[in-house]
Amino acid sequence: DQQVKQNSPSLSVQEGRISILNCDYTNSMFDYFLWYKKYPAEGPTFLISISSIKDKNEDGRFTVFLNKSAKHLSLHIVPSQPGDSAVYFCAASSGTSGTYKYIFGTGTRLKVLA
C-alpha cells in the first residue's frame, strides 16, 4: 500500500521553462513533507520542505505547494536548468512522536533539455 505516490516516473522540460513535479499522499496524519534530489551514485540531498500548516514555501527557483484537501503537493522549478536533471523524491512524515520517519515516493526522473 503506497502511502506516497509519484505517478509520473519521468518528465522532460526545456531549459528555462517551468518543471512541475507532483506527489499524492493518502495519510491525513502526515504533517511534514520534503523534496529530495538524487543524482546517480549519490545519496539524496534535501531540497525544500513544507509543514502542513502552510500551503506554499519558496526557496529561490524552487517552490513547493501543498493542497491538504486534495492530499497533493507539487514542486515547481522556475526556470529549469540542465543541472536540475536528477531524480526527485517526495517524502512525508507524521512527526508527532518526534521521529521523522519518512515515507518516500518512487521518484520522478527530471530531464532538462538544453
Query: Would you give the end-to-end CA distance of the chain in angstroms?
Result: 38
Cell of 104: 518516500
Q: Please say which residue, 47 or 77, places its beta carbon nearer to other proteins.
A: 47
Quote the least distance from Cβ 51 to other proteins, whole Å. 9
> Which of 34, 66, 73, 86 is close enough to bind other proteins by CB under 8 A?
34
3-state per-residue secondary structure call for 23-79:
EEECCCCCCEEEEEEECCCCCCEEEEEEECCCCEEEECCEEEEEECCCCEEEEEECC
- Judged by CB under 8 A, the residue of 1, 60, 69, 99 near other proteins is 99
Q: How far is the CB of 8 from other proteins (least distance, A)?
A: 14
Question: Closest CB to other proteins among 89 and 112?
Answer: 89
CB of 14 to other proteins, least distance (A): 27
